[in-house]
Amino acid sequence: MQYSNFPKFGKISKLGFGAMRFPKKADGTIDQEQVNEMIRTAYVHGVNYFDTAYVYGGGASEKALGEALKQFPRDSFFLADKHPFYNLKTKEERDEFFQTSLDRCGVEYFDFYLMHAVNSKNAQGLVDYDMVNWALEKKKEGKIRFLGLSMHDTNDLLLKLLDLNDWDFVQIQYNYLDTEGEPGKTGYEELLRRNIPMIIMEPLKGGVLVNLPEHITKPFQELGKSNPEMGLRWIGEKEGIVTVLSGMSTLEQAKDNLAIFQNMQPLNEQELKAIQQVKENIIASQKVGCTGCNYCSVCPMGIDISGTFKAWNTKAMNEGSSNWISGAAIDADMIRKCVECGQCAAHCPQKIDIPGKLKEVLEYFG
């Protein structure tokens, strides 16, 4: 396993285990046995950073991860969790949410603690609820070791957030497809310039950079490389990065990721060119930059937004193919139920005009 070694944190595995997409049983509950095995496999192969959040799976992720980590001494791994400050209605709830997270995970403290998914719409909540001072108190009490935030928003917002506090770290989305977006390359370079350690989320854009049709990833195939390997190596070797979070849903995925990080080599000229070519291929054919995070799944009409966008991209990326394409069908009746209330778009970290895009989907599929 490759490790970062920032003086204030110590040795942290370059591969971080994201607990947002745990495997589920047929009844929809998390498959704890599988989770235990996945976490054990990652741990024995050197992964020591595990990331969850209050809101993941309505608390199920914290419980499952906490349960799985009981197999190991508490001081042998780093546990990261996140505060849902955007759901606060009173200052008293700050402690209630925090204590709930500790209890669900079955721990006394968090190594890394983040203000979760800060964006331009909810950022004022950090000020209104005095979140920074509250969290600094928790640090003094020894319940938080390192304080940071996660954000998917603009670079303007990033700069404002950096003025709020001397954060120990910042978590951003970054991958080879997102360099021109925000925070993107500009945000990454700003954090690097300020010496603020970064944790990277969505290194494979929620699986988008994994599940690509062959004609798009031909440059990788010609080099005998897999899609995850190229995506993870692109980000894994960058400067200033503590760990790269990968949301793992199966033991197979965990093993594949471990193999990539066991012996990570810098990308050579040819490989960099292949990444650039694949990136251009994706941009030329993709319809919508959805990561499948499902933060928009608040639709009062029950519309499956991420599933619809996935089908649209799948269809578009396979344009010209005469074959039946699995996963490229949409439910037009469901999409027509959209009343354009905009609730979904307000939650989208990628700033997608969801109701507008849903109309385009209907036009595209005729």
Query: Which residues contact ligand SF4 (rule: CB under 6 A)?
Result: 290-296, 299, 301, 303, 305-306, 309, 338-344, 347-348, 350, 352, 354-355
Smallest separation, CB 217 to ligand SF4 (Å): 22
CB of 206 or CB of 231, closer to ligand SF4:
206
Q: Are 89 and 76 in contact (CB under 8 A)?
A: no
Smallest separation, CB 178 to ligand SF4 (Å): 12
Q: How far is CA 164 from CA 4, 75, 119, 147, 298, in A?
A: 26, 30, 14, 12, 30
Cα separation, 334 vs 311, in Å, equals 14
Smallest separation, CB 359 to ligand SF4 (Å): 10
CB of 191 or CB of 352, closer to ligand SF4:
352
Picking from 210, 196, 194, the residue whose alpha carbon sits closest to that of residue 257 is: 210
Smallest separation, CB 354 to ligand SF4 (Å): 5
Residue 289 has phi, psi (to 5 degrees) of -85, 50
* Residue keyed to tokens 């209104």: 128
Cα separation, 141 vs 120, in Å, equals 30
Smallest separation, CB 194 to ligand SF4 (Å): 28
CB of 10 or CB of 327, closer to ligand SF4:
327
Single-letter residue type at 317: M
Q: Are 1 and 13 in contact (CB under 8 A)?
A: yes
Which 3 state secondary structure label does DSSP give 243?
strand
CB of 13 or CB of 313, closer to ligand SF4:
313
Smallest separation, CB 29 to ligand SF4 (Å): 22
CB of 79 or CB of 290, closer to ligand SF4:
290
CB of 123 or CB of 242, closer to ligand SF4:
123
The burial class, CB within 10 Å (0-12 / 13-18 / 19+), for 270 is exposed
